[in-house]
Structure 1
Amino acid sequence: MKSLRRLWYRLSPQLLLGELLEKRWMEPIVPFTLLLVVFVAFIVMIPGYTSIPQLQQLMRSFPEQGFVAMAMAISILSGGLDLSVGAVFAMADFLTLYFLMVLEWPLPLTIVAVMGWGALIGAINGGLIAYAKTRPFLTTMVVLIILRAAYNKITGQYAVELAGASSDSAAWDYLGGGFLFGIPINMVCLLVVGVVAHFYLTRIRSGVHIMAVGSSRKAARHAGIDVKWSLFMAYVLSGMMASLAGILYAARQNSAGTDTGVGWEVNALAAAVLGGISLSGGRGTISRALMGAAIIFLLINGLVQLGTHGSLTTAIIGAILLAAVAFNVKFVKNKGKLLQKIYVTPSLVEFEPPASIARDSGTVFAENDRLKNAEAIALDKIEGPEDIILDEDDHLYTVNRNGSIIRFLAPDYEVREEFARIGGRPLGMALDREKNILVCVAGMGVYGVKPDRTVFKVTDETNRTWYRFKDDSRLWLADDLDVAPDGKIYFSDATTRYDLSDWALDGFEGRGNGRIVCHDPATGKTNTVLSNLAFPNGVCVSHDGRSVLWVSTWLCRIYRYWIAGEKAGQLELLVDNLPGYPDNVNRASDGTYWLALVGIRSPVYDLAMADPAFRTRMVKQIPPDEWMCPGINNGCVIKFDDTGRVLESLWDPGGRSHPTITSMREHKGYLYIGGLENNRIGRVKLPNADVNWTGWTSYWASSVNSDPDAEASNVHRISAARAKYVSGA
């Protein structure tokens, strides 16, 4: 039963639903669902509705309405409205027939002329709205009235000539009744133009500018966009789309009646709203407009085939559209709230009671005062030194909250200078063989800084998980890293569901949202080597270079991943059930490792982790500043060896100087301490530590010197130091 409960929380359907709602293509789910429902309903009610001739007839009759809906959508997306699309469509129908059949113009010239007519009307609308600053509703309404009156006048005047005219153009006949791979040619035109229009509005600069103007004219203006020109072009495109619809309609019907295009502007507006296009502009797509138009078209066509009276048909369509639009608007408006309520999906995490940290407990974790009087370096000169590192000249580098790497010059570390500005929130650091500083930057990936202060990007993406709806190819929260002897960079991407501002929510979930990633500078390739990890954090290559140690913060564990030797590719648990939440891990001079505990476990929070329903209610019902969180009011660093045995602990009780310790580095007999929320870097003298040992020489001295004797001497020195420590010296 417990296994089923654990599996349920690990594979919660809520997790899938949250990822689905997060996708932008889920916004039109209501019109898409309604489209399927309408289509299936008519399949059931109308015999032969899915026959090939019937489907071809539907596809041949729909494109003109689709083009008019796209014309309306473009104007709305720009933040305006074009009520003249129906009249432009009707006039384009007449002009096409008149130019081609009465004046006997060639078909290409006719198409160009009619499209130019649509562009002209769009230019009049756009010029008045963009440059004369008239209201879109009134402007296009007046143009509608004028064009409709002109259309009624000229169709009556030339009715006899049009009735007796004809065209011998094979291309014209093909445009009106031809097929391409069984699909009517006008439907092919709609699909091609629809794809081009979508690409234009989402990928081409001028199209993106139209969307930006629709979202916020003020913001677009501040971004340097020519707002007036973008508005002008939106109406020009709208007129051309409506004219193209008229050309295809003329080819299909070969007639121009007095009722042509009447009410089409209303249907186009309803299609845009039904498809989820915001009337305030800037939000929506061409595909949504086409979905809305298809729903209206199928409803009208299906009800007519069922023999429904015209007035009743209108009433039914109106009622369905009203309900669908109301539901769609409600869904779009509240989708964010719904996502916020269900996105956090806690998993089941069960802990055993940890070793006691009480001062008189006698355990290796017993609280002490070894960090209480640590020397304060750079006091109030740094904000959030999450990690620190020292070079061969003893200069100290640390990350700053403002996105920069700060260097404090040896020997007294009083001189502060900005070594490099990267941006984002820099976190874990490492030095490679060329003495470049490699740094994880939350939300950006992994970057590097050369000794000459040149900033370069290492990687910002990895391979995507094929079975997830969420695109996790981008690095979300690159946290800590280290470099293997072969130059490969191993780093943790702590979570793919939350950014740095919401990292605590990942803790409330306690599920495997993170991964360990490897970047190979030799090939430039980045690949995920371990996935579904619970907030992987600190990363450290072992002293022998054959494995990578990494911590799972929320599970309070340390793992070893083998990268060389007969165990290569294997993962094993090294340390379990720590009394606190581990963060960065780094090498020590005696062949062991230092580990920072960013927070301390409590029995109450352990119980909360074993009750996902409680954590769900807490996140939904309680303000964030009242959420139950791990204890971060103590500073602690521990040391452990390659077998997973914890050897000692160093404490700052109450966290007066160093709460939320996230990192520590040993350098020439001292331990330097950093913290995510601290305003200083701590330094304590380590008894019996090697005063000549540095992190960089531990990694690269033997490879740089290429001296086998020196390498053997280094290994012998580490072994002797470890033996000395274990013997109690």
Structure 2
Amino acid sequence: MSVTETLVRWRYRYLPDHVLGELLNKKWSDSAIPFFALLLIVAIFGPIVPRFFDFGTLSILSAQVAELGLIVLGLSIVMISGGIDLSVGSTFALTVTTALYAMNVQGASFATGLLATMAVGMCCGMINGLMVGVLRMRAFLTTLVTLIIYRSIFDIVFPEISTDIVMNYPESGWFEFLGIGLVWGLPVSFLVMAAISVALHIVLSRGRYGWRLMAVGGARRSAHNAGINVRWTVFSAYVICSGFVALAAFLFAARIGSAASDIGAGLELQALTATVLGGISLGGGRGSVSKALMGTVFVLLLSNSLLSLGIPGPVNSLLLGLILVVAVFLDVRWVKNRHKLLRAVYISPTFNKMPPAISTDEGPMKPNDRLKDVGVIGLGILDGAEDVIFDRDDNLYTGSRHGDILRWFPPDYTRHEVFAHIGGAPMGMLFDADGNMSVCVGGMGLYRITPQGEVSLQTAETNRSWTSVADDSVMKLADDCDILPDGRIIFSEATIRFEMHDWYADALESRGNGRLICFDPKTNSTRTIVNDLIFPNGVCTSYDGESVLFAESWACRINRYYYAGPKKGKVERVIEGLPGYPDNINRASDGTYWLALMGSRTPALDLSLEMPGFRRRMARRVSEDSWLMPNLNTGCVLRFNEKGEILESLWDLGGQKHPMITSMREHKGTLYLCGIFNNRMGTLKLPDADQTWCGVDSYWGKPA
């Protein structure tokens, strides 16, 4: 190995370029702009504003954050759902008046006053939600009208009761404690807001309602097609928003104890500036609690600092308006160009020098036409059959691109039915000792199907790597699986960085993005057992009772992982330098193994793997359909033994029947061939094979 090659290897091993792309791809990367804007405000006004960092100043600020923060959180919910609420200021004015009248004039209890305030606020939200969510009126114009209506109601009512509000005082000690009480040196209102923020964060990031909000805001028609009640979701968003505004009004009333005729005026501008500056997308479908709160603190720090410096209120509003314009501009540009930036930096090729390919000029790998005249099953019916498996009753099972598991009936396999609808892209399959099928589903994880066709999720998450920037706990491309004698399932996840439709980008990177994962049905636990694999694919439990064979497609090799015995936990090379890209591995009736090569290596791509900079420039400057890609037009099936010796190969040189082969399965003297891009399944008679052999029996023995 030359010095230059060694340096290149070290450079891409210890200074990986993919970290930047993973950072930008994370949801919290959107928080960078409001975070740095917040630091800038502190850096500018901290030294020039008197008592900026005093405890009293911070205590007052935290109480204001509690009130404006709740309003911003409510507005964020509406904006995430794809709407907008311009009436929050008028709703705030009405609910402050309600709280003060109930507590000061009527002498209501704490609970009664809170319920009355919340009722008025949520009624305002229901009106907005009914018109926007149910009647599908324009959110901007609708809430602009309700802003005027609610403000007019306030202007009519407030002068009639303002004197009574000022001349009376609340009798509730709890109300007073809510307004001026401290816990651990912090205002009670701030702690209330903090608790609500934590709960809302959990709902938005982990709860079903939060996912529905994001879905409705991101693509309303798609959300409807997915079965989400779009009208109810939008309606509820407006009700929750006004509920938050009412709670903020109750906190404000408890702290101030009175109100002026201009209460809530201009609050829409403050709240909208905080949400947009915080990164809550005007287009919907994007936002978080943390970003909304950062925007809130920014607006309050700016407003309070300007007032402390004697800047007139109109100038304050002017600056907020200008900041809002800039924030809207940045939001629009970021949403429009974010994917372009990510595309430019996310794909990060690494150095991957391929070993010399096993010769195909002579020996068992010499090309032939043994697959030229194979039989055909399901021509024009099958679509995307990546794998095939048989049960003990000779029924044939395979997946389809439409998310179905199809069952084909013997003896001629012309009749079929939908055994189960699983969604996603069904890939590798296996049967356990009780006849339950496990199937890897691209983008969804590992699923279980009972003999009656009942589908359930087994696992879609594994333990997160401590050193990974991206959250690699969620599975993206589980692709093949096999079962151990004790019932544990070992399966491969080809890549943690790309989805199924982006497999070619992983080939371009050729870095260790994949892993082997073990799922234990007895404990319902999942853990990663081998990391940093180059597109791991086929998985097959070996006959030795101690190890599992698995393929690394873009590395063109077969490995062995020991799950038991003296070498437990170790990985060994079995075959190196395959002339093509290995896919599924399955048992043969004579104690050897069948291996699918889904395509053949090309000198140009092999050479480019030693030039990461060239591949990076290609990914950025050339359209995807012009990239160097693996040749998947000439597939092959080969058979090898435990020692890694290749015994024979089966080719279709013309590519007429099976141009790409992703899996094969031997069953009772016939080899069945699959290809994820093929519209058929092939059959090849094996006259020298055991004509009674069934793959399921090789795992669990013949039934009594």
What is the TM-score of this pair, normalised by structure 2?
A: 0.88
Code of the residue aligned with 2:495 in structure 1: it is T
Counterpart CA distance in 1 for 2:391 and 2:236 is 58
Q: Conserved in 2, the CA contact under 8 Å of 1:10 and 1:511?
A: no
Q: CA deviation at 1:58?
A: 1.7
1:55 aligns with 2:58: yes
In the alignment, which of 9, 14, 18 is matched to residue 15 of structure 1? Answer: 18
Counterpart CA distance in 2 for 1:322 and 1:671 is 66
- Alpha-carbon spacing, 1:672–1:248, altered in 2? closer, same or farther (3 Å): closer
Counterpart CA distance in 2 for 1:454 and 1:137 is 46
Code of the residue aligned with 1:245 in structure 2: it is A
- Alpha-carbon spacing, 1:444–1:89, altered in 2? closer, same or farther (3 Å): closer
- Alpha-carbon spacing, 1:483–1:71, altered in 2? closer, same or farther (3 Å): closer
Number of the residue aligned with 2:605: 605
Counterpart CA distance in 1 for 2:551 and 2:326 is 52
Alignment partner of 1:665: what SS? Answer: strand
Query: What do you get for the CA RMSD once the two structures are aligned?
Result: 3.5
Q: CA deviation at 1:418?
A: 4.5
Q: Conserved in 2, the CA contact under 8 Å of 1:574 and 1:644?
A: yes
Number of the residue aligned with 1:717: none
In the alignment, which of 232, 243, 251 is matched to residue 254 of structure 2? Answer: 251
1:24 aligns with 2:27: yes
Q: Conserved in 2, the CA contact under 8 Å of 1:155 and 1:256?
A: no
Counterpart CA distance in 2 for 1:236 and 1:215 is 20
Counterpart CA distance in 1 for 2:380 and 2:571 is 41
1:478 aligns with 2:478: yes
1:109-145 deviation per Cα after TM superposition (whole angstroms, max 9, x unaligned) = 3333333333444455555666777665555545545
Code of the residue aligned with 1:592 in structure 2: it is T
Alignment partner of 2:41: what SS? Answer: helix
Q: Conserved in 1, the CA contact under 8 Å of 2:273 and 2:320?
A: no
Number of the residue aligned with 1:6: 9
1:69-114 deviation per Cα after TM superposition (whole angstroms, max 9, x unaligned) = 3444455455554434323433444444444344444444333333
Code of the residue aligned with 1:636 in structure 2: it is C
- Alpha-carbon spacing, 1:511–1:282, altered in 2? closer, same or farther (3 Å): closer
Shifted more, 86-95 versus 203-212: the winner is 203-212
Number of the residue aligned with 2:513: 513
- Alpha-carbon spacing, 1:431–1:201, altered in 2? closer, same or farther (3 Å): closer
Q: CA deviation at 1:279?
A: 3.6
Number of the residue aligned with 1:712: none
1:268-327 deviation per Cα after TM superposition (whole angstroms, max 9, x unaligned) = 222222223344555434544433222111111123334556565555444444334422
Code of the residue aligned with 2:265 in structure 1: it is V
In the alignment, which of 294, 297, 306 is matched to residue 294 of structure 1? Answer: 297
- Alpha-carbon spacing, 1:11–1:110, altered in 2? closer, same or farther (3 Å): same
Code of the residue aligned with 1:561 in structure 2: it is Y
Code of the residue aligned with 2:334 in structure 1: it is F
1:334 aligns with 2:355: no
Number of the residue aligned with 1:386: 386
Q: Conserved in 1, the CA contact under 8 Å of 2:269 and 2:320?
A: no
Number of the residue aligned with 1:564: 564
1:587 aligns with 2:587: yes
Q: CA deviation at 1:591?
A: 2.9
Alignment partner of 1:64: what SS? Answer: helix
Alignment partner of 2:530: what SS? Answer: strand
Matches within 5 A, 1:120-519: 120-126=123-129, 136-137=139-140, 140-141=143-144, 143-145=146-148, 148=151, 164-167=167-170, 169-197=172-200, 233-281=236-284, 283-308=286-311, 313-357=316-360, 361-392=361-392, 394-451=394-451, 453-455=453-455, 457-519=457-519
Counterpart CA distance in 2 for 1:464 and 1:195 is 23
Q: Conserved in 2, the CA contact under 8 Å of 1:31 and 1:324?
A: no
- Alpha-carbon spacing, 1:417–1:352, altered in 2? closer, same or farther (3 Å): same
- Alpha-carbon spacing, 1:180–1:348, altered in 2? closer, same or farther (3 Å): same
Alignment partner of 2:280: what SS? Answer: coil
Counterpart CA distance in 2 for 1:234 and 1:348 is 50
1:403-444 deviation per Cα after TM superposition (whole angstroms, max 9, x unaligned) = 344444444444445554444322223343344444323233
- Alpha-carbon spacing, 1:481–1:322, altered in 2? closer, same or farther (3 Å): same
Counterpart CA distance in 2 for 1:454 and 1:235 is 39
Q: Conserved in 2, the CA contact under 8 Å of 1:119 and 1:236?
A: yes
Alignment partner of 1:555: what SS? Answer: coil
Code of the residue aligned with 2:27 in structure 1: it is R
Counterpart CA distance in 1 for 2:393 and 2:99 is 81
- Tell me the percent identity: 45
Code of the residue aligned with 2:701 in structure 1: it is A
Counterpart CA distance in 2 for 1:306 and 1:158 is 35
Q: CA deviation at 1:503?
A: 1.8
Number of the residue aligned with 1:637: 637
Counterpart CA distance in 1 for 2:390 and 2:10 is 45
Alignment partner of 2:365: what SS? Answer: coil
- Alpha-carbon spacing, 1:281–1:395, altered in 2? closer, same or farther (3 Å): closer
Code of the residue aligned with 1:643 in structure 2: it is K
Q: Conserved in 1, the CA contact under 8 Å of 2:559 and 2:572?
A: yes
1:83 aligns with 2:86: yes
Number of the residue aligned with 1:111: 114
Matches within 5 A, 1:625-704: 625-686=625-686, 688-701=688-701
Shifted more, 361-370 versus 574-583: the winner is 361-370
Q: CA deviation at 1:604?
A: 0.7
Larger Rg: 1 or 2?
A: 1
Alignment partner of 1:503: what SS? Answer: helix
Alignment partner of 1:597: what SS? Answer: strand
Q: Conserved in 1, the CA contact under 8 Å of 2:270 and 2:320?
A: no
Code of the residue aligned with 1:100 in structure 2: it is M
1:378-418 deviation per Cα after TM superposition (whole angstroms, max 9, x unaligned) = 54453343333345555544433333444444444444455
Code of the residue aligned with 1:347 in structure 2: it is T
Number of the residue aligned with 1:723: none
Q: Conserved in 2, the CA contact under 8 Å of 1:477 and 1:493?
A: yes
Q: Which runs of 5+ in 2 are unaligned?
A: none
Counterpart CA distance in 2 for 1:491 and 1:235 is 45
Q: CA deviation at 1:556?
A: 0.6
Alignment partner of 2:590: what SS? Answer: coil
Alignment partner of 2:46: what SS? Answer: helix
Q: Conserved in 2, the CA contact under 8 Å of 1:276 and 1:332?
A: no
Counterpart CA distance in 1 for 2:420 and 2:224 is 33
Counterpart CA distance in 2 for 1:130 and 1:415 is 48
Counterpart CA distance in 2 for 1:648 and 1:308 is 85
Q: CA deviation at 1:536?
A: 0.8
Number of the residue aligned with 1:725: none
1:619 aligns with 2:619: yes
Counterpart CA distance in 2 for 1:94 and 1:436 is 64
Q: CA deviation at 1:510?
A: 0.9
Counterpart CA distance in 2 for 1:462 and 1:51 is 47
Counterpart CA distance in 2 for 1:456 and 1:97 is 54
Counterpart CA distance in 2 for 1:397 and 1:139 is 55
Shifted more, 556-565 versus 126-135: the winner is 126-135
- Alpha-carbon spacing, 1:539–1:298, altered in 2? closer, same or farther (3 Å): same
Counterpart CA distance in 1 for 2:257 and 2:223 is 44
Q: Conserved in 2, the CA contact under 8 Å of 1:350 and 1:610?
A: yes
Shifted more, 14-23 versus 564-573: the winner is 14-23
Q: Conserved in 2, the CA contact under 8 Å of 1:72 and 1:272?
A: yes
Q: CA deviation at 1:538?
A: 1.1
Q: CA deviation at 1:583?
A: 1.2
Code of the residue aligned with 1:25 in structure 2: it is W
Counterpart CA distance in 1 for 2:174 and 2:596 is 76
Shifted more, 555-564 versus 635-644: the winner is 635-644
